[in-house]
Structure 1
Amino acid sequence: MKALIFKRYGKSTQPEYADVPRPAIGPDEILVQVHAVGLNPVDNIIRKGTFKPVLKFDLPATIGSDVAGVVAEIGRSVTRFKVGDAVYASVFDLSRGSLADYVAVPERVAAFKPASLDFVEAASIPMVGLTSWQALKERARLAPGQKIFIPAGSGGIGTFAIQLAKHMGAKVGTTTSTANVDLVKSLGADEVVDYKRQDFETVLRGYDMVLGTTRGDSIEKSLQILKPRGIIVSLVGPLDVAFARARHLNFVLRLVFSLMSRKILRLAKKRDVRYSFLFVRPDGEQLAEIGGIIDAGSIRPVIDKVFAFDQAREALAYLETGRAKGKVVVRLI
């Protein structure tokens, strides 16, 4: 079968198309014929080696985390799915990739495709949906009436997280460029800061939660807009000791992450704010709940561009420019 792979780690490493064996499935797995794959910034980050100490791949490795497709085969222990079912899933952190004709997916991380979405739309959801769900509902326990700041509101995470926060009854602040102000408002953003004209930390006040989605010094700046006992859930780092412990990493990595997060933890403590780094995990039950919310009309996918499979390298390059409004998706079928 055809797959998009990388053979080694490095900033100059380029993806390659290759013929690879069709994956064999375990007793608790389903074989999915891939119809579409949603791309995420982490797909580029992984092949550069940034997460090499944390994410384990046997090289050469297939690129991609999100998938929507049809069940082609089931393992003997599978009970929830049958051949022909339309499903979607994230295989992030499972030592496999999805930009291929077929991918083996553990039953526990898959869910039925939302009935209201086509395969391209469904493929855009898993990573951003699970990340937003685990950050807002699990980690921060965002409550109705609370205020959450979600920077980069027109991006893949931002467009989904804004809608989920509004569904949960929160008030949302965000940043975006002038051209995308109407988009983020249409998704439910209550306070919109045009970052080309204003600095968010001088405009926004009284927030209960910050979802850290942008690199640089924005995490530290966001401390200024939080109430005491507020929380920052960062998706971009710095990584912390709690993350290292949860993944059973060795002493050296725990020490490294401790040093990396020392400054933000010190600043957060000074302002009576909690800091937390989140590494998303695949979860089929959560995807099923997300699918229900989507089918009820409370959340809609936002897709910037759709590429054919033979344009997947161009799709990854476009994603890396940071200019996408919503998600970038590769269609295989």
Structure 2
Amino acid sequence: MNSTDSSAPLTAQMKALRAHARGGPEQLVYEDAPVPGAPTGADVLVRVAVAAITFDELTWPETWEADGVDRTPIVPSHEFAGMVAAVGPEVTGLAVGDAVFGLVPFNRNGAAAEYVLVPASSIARKPAEVSDATAAAAVLPALTAMEALEQHLQVADGGRLLIRGGTGGVGAFVVQLAGRMGIEVTATVRSAEAAERAKRLGATTALVGTETDRVPAASFDGAIDTVGAGTPEWLYSAVRPGGRVITLQEPPSEDLAAAYGVDAQFFVVTADAAVLGRLAAVLATGELEVAIADTYPLAEGAAAYGSRGTSKAPGKTVLRVRES
């Protein structure tokens, strides 16, 4: 049965960050927008508390179109934490008032708004001991790390894993989660300071910049490039024949994979309520470091998206939609 949060009655309008034309942060405006309609099927309406930013999302085709049809005006930011405001008739296991966090499908309007409509399969209950900001900031990078380790890399306990970008958004979670799985981690980083952080997160070895020439050939069971496009040849050569290389930004080089006899794969993370539930349990232990670089109010969302590269601190940039 569909129900609605009586403590916060829905109105026709909400505050949202929107873009009416394709582009970058300069297209984003803070304005009144229609509240999503009452949820149908297995959808859930969430009253957003915090939304986290992935800067590259303004370059993704899914942000701007669905099945070739323009979606503007769009609402960005797909990682969120908040409270269930209403549930569709097919939703089970969630009720109005539940604290939740999750990942909005990339071809839907996101969470940089007071309300967001999201499938129940893409959210999970948020533990009370985990803050909204921590939960929102962990969603996309931690889910990506979990899927990479559990479904794609398949490096066993005691195996050796090479991570390009061991203190980046996804890389920091791969380092931490791999360590929890008993995997020996070598991480490449950009500075001595980052090397210290990688070791603190659980890396056995941290290589700075050009030190990648110290990576022996065929010495790892798997490798993952968390940095970006243009995966370098040394990452392929570092993996033993039959091992696996994972890329996150673009499909891997078939030629390099064949040359070194590795299985190279690319994937785009998908939200899954069961995996989110397991992430929630890990976050509740307080054992994962979830870095937050900057926090902006929703009204300053355009500035938040425009701040890329300006923060000296590692971690996510988050939008504070409402006070907890």
Pairwise TM-score range, normalised by the shorter structure: 0.7 to 0.9
Determine the C-alpha separation between the residues in 2 that align with 1:298 and 1:143: 21
Q: Distance in 1 between matches of 2:25 and 2:45?
A: 32
Unmatched 5+ residue regions in structure 2? 1-13
CA distance in 1, matches of 2:116, 2:299: 18
Match of 1:251 in 2: none
> Where does residue 174 of structure 1 map in the other structure?
187
The whole-number CA distance in structure 2 between the counterparts of 1:204 and 1:13 is 46
Secondary structure of the residue aligned to 2:34 is: coil
Residue deviations 1:100-121, cap 9 Å, x none?
0000111111101133311011
Residue 111 of structure 1 corresponds to which residue in structure 2?
124
Distance 2:277 2:107 in 1: 19
Amino acid at match of 1:315: A
Equivalent residue, structure 1, for 2:4: none
CA shift, 1:266, in A, is 1.5
In structure 2, C-alpha distance between the alignment counterparts of 1:227 and 1:55, rounded to whole Å: 41
Deviation track 1:246-299 (CA, whole Å, cap 9, x = no partner) reads xxxxxxxxxxxxxxx6xx111111211011111111111100011112223442
Q: How many residues align?
A: 306
SS in structure 2 of the partner of residue 160 of structure 1: helix
Instruction: State how 1:1-333 maps to structure 2 within 5 Å.
Output: 1-10=14-23, 14-24=27-37, 25-46=39-60, 58-176=71-189, 177-195=191-209, 198-203=210-215, 205=217, 206-238=219-251, 264-319=253-308, 325-333=314-322
Q: Is the 8 A contact 1:151 1:213 kept in 2?
A: yes
Q: 2:229 and 2:148 mapped to 1: Cα distance?
A: 20
What is the distance in 2 between the residues matched to 1:133 and 1:215? 18
SS of the aligned residue for 1:269 comes to helix
Q: CA RMSD in A?
A: 2.4
CA distance in 1, matches of 2:222, 2:254: 16
> Given the superposition, is the C-alpha separation of residues 321 and 152 from structure 1 closer, same or farther in structure 2, using an over 3 Å criterion?
farther
Is this contact kept in 2: 1:293–1:299, CA < 8 A? yes
| SS state at 2:121 partner | helix
Secondary structure of the residue aligned to 2:81 is strand
* Aligned CA distance change for structure 1 residues 328 and 3 (closer, same or farther; 3 Å): same
Q: Is the 8 A contact 2:104 2:110 kept in 1?
A: yes
Letter in 1 for 2:50: A
- How far the C-alpha of 1:43 sits from its partner, in A, is 2.2
Instruction: State the alpha-carbon separation in 2 of the partners of residues 157 and 138 from structure 1.
Output: 16
Q: Unaligned 5+ residue runs, structure 1?
A: 239-260
**Aligned equivalents of 1:135, 1:19: Cα separation in 2:** 39
8 A contact 1:155–1:327 mirrored in 2: no
In 2, distance between residues paired with 1:12 and 1:303?
20
Q: Compare 143-152 and 9-18 and name the one that shifted more.
A: 9-18
Q: Deviations over 1:181-231 (max 9, x none)?
A: 222211101110121xx2424335511111122235434331121111111
CA contact (8 A) 1:27 1:75 kept: yes
Return the TM-score normalized by structure 2.
Answer: 0.87
Using the TM superposition, give the Cα deviation of residue 322 of structure 1 relative to its aligned residue in structure 2, in angstroms: 8.2
Q: Conserved in 1, the CA contact under 8 Å of 2:223 and 2:246?
A: yes
